[in-house]
Structure 1
Amino acid sequence: MNTFTKATLAIAVTTGLGQTAIAQDNIEEKGLEQITVTAQKRTQSIQEVPLSIATLNGEEFTSLFAGGDDILALATRVPGLYAESSNGRVAPRFYMRGLGNTDFDLAASQPVSIVMDNVVMENVVLKSFPLFDVEQVEVIRGPQGTLFGRNTTAGIVKFDSVKPSDDFDAYVKLGLGSLGTQNFEGAVGGGLSEDLAVRLSLLSQERDNYIDNAFSGVVDAIGGFTEEAYRLQFAYNINDDFSALLNIHGRELEGTASIFRANVLSPGSNNLNQNYDRETVYYDANLLGNGFDNNPQGYEGFGTSLTLTYDMDSMTFTSITALETAEGDSLGDVDGGVVVDPAQDINGDGTVETTFPGFVPFSAVTQDKLNDLEQFTQEIRWASNNDGAYNWQAGAFFFDSSFSVTSIDGFFGATEVFHENTTWAVFGQSEFAVNDKLTITTGLRYTHDDKTLSVGEQNVDGFAVVIGAASIQEYADINVDDGQLSYEISANYNIDNTSSVFARYANGFRAQTIQGRDVAFEGAPSVADAETINSFEIGFKSDLLDNTLRLNAAAFYYVIDDIQFSAIGGGANNTALINADEGSAIGYEIDLRYLASDNLTLTAGFSFNDTQINDRELSVFPCGANATFAGNCTVNDPTTVDNRALIDGNPFPQAPKTIYNFTARYTYPVSDDAELFVFTDWAFQGETNLFLYDSVEFSTDQQHEAGLRIGYENFKHNYQIALFGRNITNEHNLRGGIDFNNLTGIVNEPKVVGIEFTARYY
């Protein structure tokens, strides 16, 4: 256990033991709890909001992270939601209703917005802030352009931390698991005075390196990480009229970037082959001449926000001011193997090889550095606070972001590109209760977005420049700006006091984007125009069987004009932005929660997403387009004379056609104030294309992961002890691929089992 963990554990336990624990009443009224959400920036029952929403909290949420997983653990745990990354524990990529962005660049935009404590996390690195002491997660599906703005065409994942309160409370959670996994989470808070409350939340996660680099001979070279984070909040309240909430938070990560595995797929198959060994890789030693052979990754971040709320006679004024910063870097052996000269017996089987495992045409290693990211946001909002039939809210939003990305390639050298983005918007929403059953909601937002890219001086010592294979180029600054309206209208009809139906039409847009990644490889920057979505959905919400069964469902259809895609890889290893004429999707989501008995609670969810690219002329370079890699990949699409794949009719990349998940929790009382419990969660992912083109190798189907907790909980003394397992069946699932060099794959995390202790103090 490191010094940070020991210190924070001592602080939380010492503080908590000084208080008297209050026994929790174990007797609950039969029926499902009422869930409130803030999807429309005000507190409402989830059953009253005319949106498709799923929530995660309590054990269903915290059990996902018992094995040290990061935010990607949310993938497939909610119908319609998926996430993946080729950047380790930073820069996650989210997809909702099949819509996302596969671009791995640190400047990439996404159509799924991540909002943490009411602050948008626009940059992909900010989206990876660790999750701890979380009160609730809201997954809001469909465009949210009116209240949340641009880049929400797919939806929003909204995280709300536990806030300070006047009453003292604290908890500590310590988990120990296989692979040297250590997890600590704790919080302590309470009133400092009549008007001031505070809460300190801490996180420390560790995992040992467990993957050997068989080429360099280093045992336990990669795979581990250390993640530490904190959040300090002060809440100030005066006479219920004025409140202020100050949030200060930060994180520090040292670990391993994504593990790329060369030729773990065979031509004509998407099954992992004999080259795959979860605990072994073959990476070139002394990458870039700096001695790194362990795909290192290090990031740090700091942020603060101030929320002011003032209640007047007929309205409430809210101001949210926030600053987020981050910087760090990752290095990756992207080809996933080794290229040696002269030939040698790399794997010790008596065979002399020049590459391993399998044929690796050339060595590819890259390093990306995020420099001086600063994001400033300011939102002001007025909202009615009456109980009448008509309610409204209106406000303005300002966003400013700047950072640079340095890309270092072993052949071309280093380049640095600078990004700036300024956005402002004004918005309004109204809600009118026509009668006791029917409520109409309308919304409108105007957004202006401005982006600039400039290229810094390139590294004249790049090997390609030295040998004359490349030249130093100058690029003019690129500036793009656009202003667009977003709007929506919805109707919610209460059938009776237990069931309702809703219908919604929403229009939104993802702002124009600039991609500078190709500059690192002597290519020009690319620009994509803004995409615009028109979405239609209908839904049904109900609490049935005496409030023991909650069944919510929604069906949707959307069309996106000028949909943005990222053409990744291919023979030239490009990362270029493109616009397709149109993208469309049809599907549905079902969320179910059932209190089967006083001792058994079941949840289940299912989603279906049928996405389609509509552009007869659009083509991209597929795997195998490089002459040295030809024949390794089986492309199912028709191709042009220059070996480009025509992608009309293909599904969106990384868009699971189906997602199914379920959980079950069974309790067995052992006394009046204690119980044994068993909790399990399962998630299944259906057919998924990894790239824009369709190939046999880079597609997946019927992948799943499961978790299990078996424990004892004492309500009188407020503690819990549990055995846990993540990926308990030790599935080997293909999550991503690299297609420009060989059949490289990225797989999921291994099974982790352990024990976890939690104590609460009141």
Structure 2
Amino acid sequence: MFSAEENEAVKLPDVVVSADFRPSTAQKTAVSLTEVKRETIEARGAQHLEEVLNLAPNVNISAGASRGRFFQIRGMGILSQYDNPVNPSVGLIIDGIDFSRLGGAATLFDIDSVEVLQGPQGTKLGPNAIAGAITMRSAEPTKEFKMRAQAGLGEYNTRNLGVAVGGTIVEDQLLGRASIYTHKSDGYMQNDTLGRDDTQKQDELTFRSKFKLFATEDLTLDFTLMHVNVNNGYDAFTLDNSRHSQSNQPGVDTQNTNAFAVKANWQASDAVIIQSEASYLNSSSTYSFDGDWRTENDFEKHNRDRDNYSFELRALSDKAGRIFNDSTDWTIGVYRFVQDEKFNSRVDYRSFGPDELTQLTGTYKTENTAVFGQLDSHLTEKLILVSGLRVEDFNANYADTGFVRATPSNVKKNVSEVLLGAKLGLNYQAQANQLIYTSLTRGYKPGGINNNATLPQNQRQFNTEYMWNFETGFKSSWLDGTLVTNLAAFYAKRLDAQTQSSAQISGTGNFVEFYDNAARATHQGVEASMDWFVTDQFRMLGSLGLLDAKFDSYQNPDSTAYNPQGRQVAHAPRYTFNLGTEYYTNEKWTLRANVEGKDAFYFSDSNSAKSNGYALLNASADYQYDKHWKVRVWARNILDKDYATRGFFFANNPANGFLVDEKYIQYGEPRVAGVTVTYDY
């Protein structure tokens, strides 16, 4: 919380972000980004990333699971994953560890900040960030002993409890911090068939620990250890689009993840800094659901066991190491990432016939090896030319055994590509508090494999997608630092765009799904935000995203299928917005409220079904008892609006003989209110 002292105007603090190779403040980083800080996370009673992402312009979420865990930025991003291997368009990085496609792990206790980077980040983050990236940073260890204990209660039998402790372990040498947090809720569905109200439950446990070792005067080591155990239910869809499920075998959305990372920062000399990062992640997950949403025995279950290994080594120039007549900072590095995934899928729709059974077991292994570099050339005292390049060797090997709807499957596919990402930009620091920037970037997303044995051979593999993105922005601080504004405009061309298509198998609830390079698309728009202390007691915050993202051309392999050419792409609302206020009545009370929402958007590129636009009202009130205790009452979606986080359009209703396509939606959370008590020491 911000407060005024001695009647001086409150100035907004500089925020250090990690969007570039060199840490910098948000206002001096030449990229469109939204930062959600700890105070905002806690004011919303937010437990998971899905509950704060509406604050970022031109960002959307696809659920189709217990949580919204598939992300879209500027209209780009995967919408779901079943048995097919996929490559993400939006990277998820938690404390430096790649959690892409593992969005269920994005819990928020003891998270200091969430950064949403809009636009391709390929020169720094590689192939997982053609649309952008989301990074989450937990609290760092401190020299002083600090402790936080938090407990909360809310509607739908919501309860949570967490503790974080940190401080000096060895004087002047080792710092540490650890946190553990559990969150439980019955969820927002009532299963009338089973007489239960917890089939869409949330049951999440998160443990994090960090250690900072000052090995020598010039060498610092950071260690991170995480354990995330998600044991959620999945029972979201109904034939009448209500919150009353009729399923007889509701599914689960579970994830058990252990991850470890070590970072080293070595001041090798006055000229060179050497940095390295290594990480390991193992995650086992199960995703299952009742396929007919009724009392038949149709069911899908997808198990995955995934291991990630990564290593990166960078050399950065320090002041004495600048080149070209002391005008240019440089960064060079190498990167290695290996992902080994084993899967087992069972798709059973035999109520429609004895052949409607799929059983697949297989492996999907990818290897990325990259070299990269960046030059920051000071053309003048105020003007910097940024030039970056990344060359990446990508290899993927897929193999499966089993059968797909009575068709034997023994698919073996290999992908081998050399990928190229680049960035060219100009940053002009007009004044100390005003940055103007432009950039031209080339992002990439590697090709992949469709594993459905019933597809023709020419649809079994798809190629790399590339995107050229031009962006210009203006970041400013006004009125003695009490008003911060950001404005960015972008124009992007997607070439060989990877699109997800699906077709229902006639007379069944089963689908044939595949990815293809079916399209070219243009994505253009504007992102704006402001943060303003109008007085030392009253603060206003807001953001606005405008997006025009359309298919210039679209070639579906099935000429009789729906064609979205000329249409807005899926999950790309034309506008998103957020407007909030904070009122610091005195040293004890803080009142907050905000309205956030978005325009209607298409659910898929394979049909014309759309969501409804919506606006949600949220509010909270904090009471600071003394310097240790805080009580917060909060509510989200106060007006109890129904809104969709995932949707389908297909025939699944037996009353219509499975012949009439209808729209089915998964709802976001209803009105939820609660109270949280926090003790800080």
- For normalisation by structure 2, the TM-score amounts to 0.91
Amino acid in structure 2 at the alignment position of 1:323: Y
1:152 aligns with 2:153: no
Give the whole-Å Cα distance in 1 for the aligned partners of 2:590 and 2:428: 39
Partner of 1:737: 647
Shift of 1:474: 3.4
Alignment of 1:18-417 (within 5 A): 30-64=10-44, 66=45, 68=47, 70-89=48-67, 92-105=69-82, 107-122=85-100, 124-125=101-102, 128-194=105-171, 195-208=173-186, 211-216=189-194, 218-264=195-241, 276=242, 278=243, 280-283=244-247, 285=248, 293-313=249-269, 314-338=271-295, 364-370=298-304, 372-386=305-319, 389-410=327-348, 411=350, 412-417=357-362
Displacement after TM superposition at 1:684 (Å): 0.8
Contact 1:618 1:647 in 2 (8 A): no
Q: Note the alpha carbon deviations across 1:58-89, whole angstroms, 9 max, x for none.
A: 2212334x264x22223322112111221223
Counterpart amino acid of 2:180?
A: L
After TM superposition, give the deviation of residue 439 of structure 1 in Å: 1.0
Q: Secondary structure at the match of 1:730?
A: coil
Unaligned regions of 5+ residues in structure 1, if any?
A: 1-23, 265-275, 286-292, 340-362, 459-463, 465-469, 621-639
Amino acid at match of 1:733: Y
> Is 1:489 paired with 2:469?
no
Deviations 1:202-241 (A, max 9, x none): 110001256332234x232512221101012221003431
The structure with more radius of gyration: 1
Shift in CA distance, 93/735, structure 1 to aligned 2, threshold 3 Å: same
User: How far apart, CA to CA, are the structure 2 residues paired with 1:608 and 1:210?
Assistant: 31
The 2-side partners of 1:30 and 1:221 are apart by 45
Match of 1:597 among 535, 540, 556: 535
- Separation in 2 of the partners of 1:79 and 1:476? 41
Which residue identity does 1:224 align to in structure 2?
K
The answer to whether 1:692 aligns with 2:582 is no
Instruction: Say whether 1:436 aligns with 2:381.
Output: yes
Deviations 1:393-447 (A, max 9, x none): 1111001111122221223042123111011000001101112221111100100
Contact 2:246 2:294 in 1 (8 A): yes
Q: Which amino acid aligns with 2:293?
A: G
Name the counterpart of 2:669: 749
> Higher mean Cα deviation, 161-170 or 551-560?
161-170
Which residue pairs with 1:646 in the alignment?
563
Q: Tell me, in whole angstroms, the C-alpha distance in 1 between the residues paired with 2:216 and 2:393.
A: 38
Matched residues in 2 for 1:25 and 1:662: separation?
23
Task: Give how far 1:165 is off.
Answer: 1.9
Post-superposition shift, 1:497?
2.6
Contact 1:187-1:200 at 8 Å conserved across structures: yes
> Which of 613, 616, 619 pairs up with 1:705?
616
Contact 1:663 1:682 in 2 (8 A): yes
Amino acid at match of 1:721: V
Change (3 A) 1:297 1:476: closer
**Which letter maps to 1:720?**
K
User: Which residue of structure 1 aligns with residue 628 of structure 2?
Assistant: 718
Give the secondary structure class of the aligned counterpart of 1:717.
coil
Runs of 4+ in 1 over 4 A off after TM superposition: 24-29, 521-525
* Cα distance in 1 between the residues matched to 2:606 and 2:486: 34
C-alpha distance in 2 between matches for 1:208 and 1:617: 44
Do 1:197 and 1:235's aligned partners in 2 also have CA atoms closer than 8 Å?
A: yes
How far 1:613 sits from its partner (Å)?
A: 1.1
One-letter code aligned to 2:252: P
Establish whether residue 579 from structure 1 lines up as the match of residue 517 from structure 2.
yes
The CA deviation at 1:296 is 2.8
How far apart, in 1, do the equivalents of 2:265 and 2:482 lie? Answer: 37
Structure 2 counterpart of 1:425: 370
Number of corresponding residues: 648
2:593 corresponds to = 680
Q: Deviations over 1:619-661 (max 9, x none)?
A: 66xxxxxxxxxxxxxxxxxxx5x4x112211211111111001
Which amino acid in the other structure matches residue 110 of structure 1? P
Distance 1:592 1:584, change over 3 A: same
Tell whether the 8 Å contact from 2:156 to 2:188 is kept in structure 1 after alignment: yes
**Residues 612 and 644, structure 2, Cα contact 8 Å, conserved in 1:** no
Structure 2: gaps (5+ residues): 321-325, 351-356, 653-661
Alpha-carbon separation, structure 2, partners of 1:686 and 1:113: 24
1:378 counterpart SS class:
strand
Higher RCO (CA 8 Å, separation ≥ 6 residues): 1
8 Å CA contact 2:221, 2:265 repeated in 1: yes
1:503 equivalent among 438, 450, 455: 438
Instruction: Indicate the RMSD between aligned Cα atoms, in angstroms.
Output: 2.2
- Tell me the alpha carbon deviations over residues 149-201 of structure 1, each in whole angstroms, 9 at most, x when there is no partner: 11311111111111112211111111111111012232100111120111111
8 Å contact kept, 2:67–2:104: no
Q: Secondary structure at the match of 2:177?
A: strand
Q: 2:544 maps to which residue? A: 606
Going from structure 1 to structure 2, the CA distance change for 1:103 and 1:297 (only over 3 Å counts) comes to closer
Give the C-alpha shift of residue 564 in structure 1: 0.4
C-alpha offsets along residues 550-605 of structure 1, whole Å, 9 cap, x if unaligned?
A: 11101010001100011134446121011124111110100111111101111100
> Structure 2 CA distance, aligned partners of 1:658 and 1:167?
45
- 2:484 aligned with 1:532, yes or no? no
Matched, 1:446 2:391: yes
The one-letter code sitting in structure 1 at the alignment partner of 2:599 is G
SS at 1:379 equivalent: strand
